[in-house]
Structure 1
Amino acid sequence: MDVLIHLFVGLHVIGIASLLGGFLTQMSAMKEGAARFNKAMLHGALTMLVTGVALVGLNQADGSTVNNIKIGVKLALLIVILGIVYVKRDEEKAEKGLFITVGALTVVNIFIAVLWT
């Protein structure tokens, strides 16, 4: 079971990297007002959602305790991120405020995962 959990943690990290990497690659375009939500961001958020749900299930099946409040907060942030990216993915230019919101919520989600014990 540990190998499976570690596999999903790795996939979850790849999803985070895709979402945050997609955001960071658009930072220079954001200064010019030409930033957009790219496919890497959408697929990263979806990967985080699927692997996160799988991790909760695997950890509970393994008998580990899961902090449901922490998971709920992270899930709520991810749903907001996913909603924004999904709705705005086909637009030629992203609004600067929404784009910064997605980046900030992604970073907050990472710090919640790391610091909330």
Structure 2
Amino acid sequence: MTVLIHVFVALHIIGIAALLGGFLTQLKAMGRGTARFVPAMLHGAITMLVTGVVLVGLNQADGHHVNNIKIGIKLALLIVILGLVYVKRDEETVDKGMFGLVGALTTANIFIAVLWT
């Protein structure tokens, strides 16, 4: 079971890398006001959602303690991110504030995952 959990942690990290990487590639365009949500951001957010749910289930099934408050906050942030990216995915440009919000929420999600023990 431990190996399976580690595989899903790796997939979860790949998802966050796609989401944050997509954001970072658009920073220069954000400065010009031409940033858009790239497909990698949507795919990364979906990957994070699916692997995160699987990780919670696997950890609970293996008898590990799961901090439900932490997971709930991370899930809420991810749902907001996923909603914004999904709704605006086909637009040529996205408002700087909305684009920045997705980056800030993604960064907050990372810090919650790493620092909240």
Task: Place the TM-score, normalised by the shorter chain, in its bin.
Answer: over 0.9
Matches within 5 A, 1:26-41: 26-41=26-41
Q: Secondary structure at the match of 1:92?
A: coil
Give the corresponding residue for 1:47.
47
Whole-angstrom CA distance in 2 between matches of 1:15 and 1:85 = 14
Report the CA distance between 1:43 and its aligned residue. 0.1
The CA RMSD measured in Å over matched residues stands at 0.3
Give the corresponding residue for 2:86.
86
- After the TM superposition, list the runs of 4 or more consecutive aligned residues in structure 1 that deviate by more than 2 angstroms: none
Whole-angstrom CA distance in 2 between matches of 1:68 and 1:32 = 40
Consecutive unaligned residues in structure 1, runs of 5 or more: none
Q: Deviations over 1:50-99 (max 9, x none)?
A: 00000000000000000000000000000000000000000010110000
TM-score (norm 1): 1.00
TM-score (norm 2): 1.00
**Number of aligned positions between the proteins:** 117
